[in-house]
Chain A
Amino acid sequence: MNQTGAEILRVEAVSKRYGGVHALEQVNFDLRYGEVHALVGENGAGKSTLIKVLGGIIPRNGGRVLFEGNEVDYQRPIEALHAGIAIIHQELSMMPSLNVIENMYMGRMPGRFGIVNWKDLERRTRQAMALIDLHVDPYAAVQDLTISQRQMIEIARALSVNAKLIIMDEPNSSLTQGESERLFAVIDSLKARGIAIIYVSHKIEEVLRISDRITVFRDGKYVGTVDREDATEQKIINMMVGRELDRTAISVPDKIGDVLLDVRDLSGPGFDKVNFAVRKGEIVAFSGLVGAGRSEVASAIFGARPFTDGEITFYGRPVRFKSPKHAIRAGIAMVQEDRKVLSLFMDMTIQRNITMAELPYMSKGVTSDGAERRLAQQMVRSLDIRLASLDDPVSSLSGGNQQKTVLSRWLATTPKLLILDEPTHGVDVGAKAEIYDLIRKLAAQGVGVMLISSELPEVLALAHRIVVMHEGRITGILDRADASEEALMAYATGIADDFAVPAEVSS
């Protein structure tokens, strides 16, 4: 395979619609053998959609895809795989209870009359792993391996099918520093083999480091492609955001009052000795990498997860909520991270989705259609949710409006403390700005806000104070004035740590 430099893939004017929403609109992309081409963009930019189109997971609505010079239109993932396109998904698509060999050869186990030659498979598995210098027990169950090892197995699997194009979707999102280095080294070796790589990420630093070219998508549209030599972090960010980032302080006057929530030495599954406070009218952002324990802490406060140790004081009184129901009654609301799985009742009407949490408190057991409708209408107006009818199922709404529906459910309960877990995930830019305004307005009215966000610009734009967590511990608490993306990243990765326990004390 010595065609390095020649074109392997060309995407021309490809579109994908879901209902009336354009997930991809006439995007272009091209890739050469032995090249790492990064695809970047904010959530909802269309990166994952393009991957799915290329991998035959979803059909496209228009445009052309040329792979190795031939026009292709894969209907099923297996067709793409046979052609030499392998995708390594963000949530690795492996069968956790099966062993490495079974995962490597699932769906294509060679064998005579259905009988598998395990010795032969073991040898081949070891060979494939050796290509990327990976040495794990082929008979180990995948669930007992680290995320990084699983990822490497997926790469080995791609090599074992002679993939010419490997697509990596956010491969770095849950790796440690050392594991990332390892991944980069493997990517370099793949390049040397002439394999083309599409590297999807929103971490600009790493993209600048490993890719030859960078293409930016925004809101389903192609924005542009730059060579690495010409790329700077600022340039890429500007392309992603489409404007100069507004880093100005929040415009509302900061009226921050008494302590509303005080958390002392809170420990539980996924977090350890967490200390922080939220005051009335204060927006405290929780920054950190995925898996740092931020959602777990918030869920423990909200009564949705257990905690083993520590104290939570709310309104000056110690509290320990048995279930979200009790937290809601006390005046706490929590917008969950994954709205489809944890928040929305997809087959129920928009109105019923809005009133779900407040319903028990607006009526003594018996519901009133009139009161319910008035509440729903009021929320729709104040959040500007765009809908046809309150009686339509919530699934008919766009992502941004679905998120606003979730927000409205919680605002309807007039909370004193509002916990937001990634409130702008998968939300278009317009709705995002509106949600920011709303959060600021609520804070100005005296609501305490816990904002969990993985998007640094969001954190910097909204927070009064920023709590940074790393592997279940708080590593830093910064005032916004002292915070920068670089500083937050240093705390989030554990490089900086203001609360590290000196070695002699910890033992």
Chain B
Amino acid sequence: MEQPEVVQVGTARKGESGGSFWRRLLQSREFGVFLALVGLVILMRFLTPYFWKPDNIFNVLRGMSTIGIMAIGQTMIIITGGIDLSVGSVLAASAMITARLMYTGVVSPWVAVLIGLGFGTLLGAINGLIITRVKVTPFIATLGMLSIARGLAYLLASGLQGTVASNVPMRDESVNFLGAGYIGPVPFPVIEMFVLVIVFSLFLRFTVLGRQIYAVGSNEQAARLSGVSSDMVKLFVYTITGTLAALSGIMTAGLLGTSATNAGTGTELDVIAAVVIGGASLAGGSGTIIGSIIGAAIMAVLRNAFVLLQFPIYMQTISIGLVIILAVAIDQIRRRSS
């Protein structure tokens, strides 16, 4: 029987040795980004001794925690081939409803938190419904939500009468612990981020729905024809991202002790940048949460570095832009050569 040549290559290295796991790991985009992070950290240790102090390290980690948490949801969305531009605004609106409810005291603080999380979840679900039912592209649907949710934050801060308020205080210390607390020397937001990263990484890796998220992004038509409810999958990722943005909002407000109408402005771009640096393709089908967290860490370390080294702010902004382009460019070049 005739056989194409690939077959011989196949039989030559039949069987899956443990070696292939390590080779795969070493070749993965995440590993490359991780090496870049390690290199950056080592460089910083030499440039400024203060960098490696636990205080500073925890500072960096706390600074990236809300970006990291939103990047978890954004990663899943980008894996499906979508995008969510509204996370920064959903963050603000959810925090604002929580702060407002606590301020007026109509419900107990933790109920206010649940309502805040529920509100973010609802806004995420609306994103998902507009995308799946009305078939508006994710970019447009969430661009609209970016504006709407920001407007809702203003509305919730001021009330219908239109009294101008840009801040509403967060009046409960136990709630503020979410953003400002410490367990031992470790900021609580850092713990929240790592727990969520682990939970959602396991979810993506070991559940049917997690697998289907990749399938939808890889080939949506094929996924549907293989029995995947791609609409349900998409609705899920946008909804959960709304929840995670709301949590980030309450954490941010908790840290500052106040909920601001302009909270999270522009963070959607940081979140997307973290995911892209971390190896996800905007075309869908690939990406990992670990990669995105490493991407967020690279940006956080860079920001910290420029502050510690007292470089001007424009250099920080320019360098982060360069990192985004470099990360994707290197990946493109590698892919073409392989």
Q: Which residues of A contact B (CB under 8 A)?
A: 19-22, 219, 302, 304, 323-325, 328-329, 334, 336, 341-348, 352, 356-357, 359-360, 363, 365-367, 386-391, 396-398, 400-401, 409, 428-430, 433
Contacts and interface: CB of A to CB of B under 8 A. Distances in A.
Nearest first, the 9 A-B pairs at minimum CB distance are A20-B5, A345-B218, A388-B10, A328-B227, A325-B227, A398-B4, A430-B1, A386-B7, A357-B226
A367 B213 CA distance: 14
Given A342-B222, A397-B6, A429-B2, A388 B13 contact: yes
Contact of B222 (A344, A365, A386): A344
B22 interface: no
6 contacts: A302-B225, A336-B225, A352-B214, A366-B208, A367-B208, A389-B16
Interface in B267-286: 285-286
Nearest to B285: A347
Interface in B202-238: 206-211, 214-215, 218-219, 221-229
B11 to A, nearest CB: 8
B1 to A, nearest CB: 4
A227 to B, nearest CB: 29
A430 B3 contact: yes
Contact of B2 (A19, A347, A428): A428
A82 to B, nearest CB: 29
Contact of A367 (B1, B6, B207): B207
B337 interface: no
Contact of A356 (B7, B11, B215, B221): B215
A281 B2 CA distance: 30
Given A387-B10, A388-B14, A324 B2 contact: no
B308 to A, nearest CB: 40
A277 B186 CA distance: 69
Contacts of B285: 345, 347-348
Contacts of A396: 6
Interface in B12-50: 12-14, 16, 20, 24
Given A19-B6, A304-B224, A386-B3, 16 more contacts: A20-B4, A219-B2, A323-B227, A324-B226, A324-B227, A341-B219, A343-B222, A346-B218, A356-B215, A356-B223, A365-B208, A365-B209, A388-B14, A389-B20, A401-B6, A428-B2
Interface string B233-268: 000000000000000000000000000000000000
Contacts of A360: 208, 227
Contacts of B211: 352, 356, 359, 367
A433 B13 CA distance: 26
B10 A357 contact: no
Contacts of B318: none
Nearest to B1: A430
A328 B228 CA distance: 10
Contacts of B218: 345-348
B1 A386 contact: no
B183 interface: no
Nearest to A299: B225
A137 B95 CA distance: 62
Q: Which of A325, A387, A388, A409 has the most CB of B within 10 A?
A: A388
Contacts of B16: 389-391
A431 to B, nearest CB: 9
Nearest to A388: B10
B313 interface: no
B206 to A, nearest CB: 5
A390 B21 CA distance: 12
B123 to A, nearest CB: 26
A400 B1 CA distance: 13
- Interface of chain B, helix or strand or loop or mixed? helix
Contact of A20 (B6, B14, B209, B226): B6
Given A325-B227, A344-B219, A21 B5 contact: yes
B9 interface: yes
B221 A341 contact: yes
B6 A398 contact: yes
Contacts of B215: 345, 348, 356
Contacts of A430: 1-3
Nearest to B15: A389
A359 B208 CA distance: 7
B226 A356 contact: yes
Given A345-B215, A345-B285, A391 B24 contact: yes
A492 B9 CA distance: 43
Contacts of B209: 365
A126 to B, nearest CB: 41
Nearest to A339: B222
B4 A304 contact: no
Contacts of A397: 6
Nearest to B210: A367
Given A21-B6, A347-B286, A324 B24 contact: no
A123 B6 CA distance: 54
Q: Which of A324, A334, A396 has the most CB of B within 10 A?
A: A324
Contacts of B10: 386-388
A336 B6 CA distance: 24
A363 to B, nearest CB: 6
B218 to A, nearest CB: 4
Nearest to A20: B5
B98 to A, nearest CB: 31
B206 A367 contact: yes
B221 A363 contact: no
A304 B6 CA distance: 34
A431 B3 CA distance: 9
A122 B250 CA distance: 66
A433 B3 CA distance: 12
Contacts of B13: 388-389
Contacts of A342: 221-222, 225
A357 B212 CA distance: 10
A124 to B, nearest CB: 40
Contacts of A390: 16
Contacts of B7: 386, 398
Contact of B225 (A219, A304, A366): A304
A20 B9 contact: yes
Nearest to B12: A388
A348 B219 CA distance: 10
B206 A323 contact: no
A9 B113 CA distance: 77
A503 to B, nearest CB: 40
A334 B286 CA distance: 26
Contacts of B223: 345, 356
Contacts of A429: 2
Contacts of A363: 208
Given A21-B5, A430-B3, A357 B208 contact: no
Nearest to B219: A345
Nearest to B283: A347
A334 B2 CA distance: 28
A432 B112 CA distance: 64
Nearest to A325: B227
Nearest to A389: B16
A21 B4 contact: yes
Nearest to A356: B226
Contacts of A343: 222, 225-226
A348 B214 contact: yes
A357 B223 CA distance: 9
Contacts of A219: 2
A396 B207 CA distance: 26
Contacts of B9: 20, 388
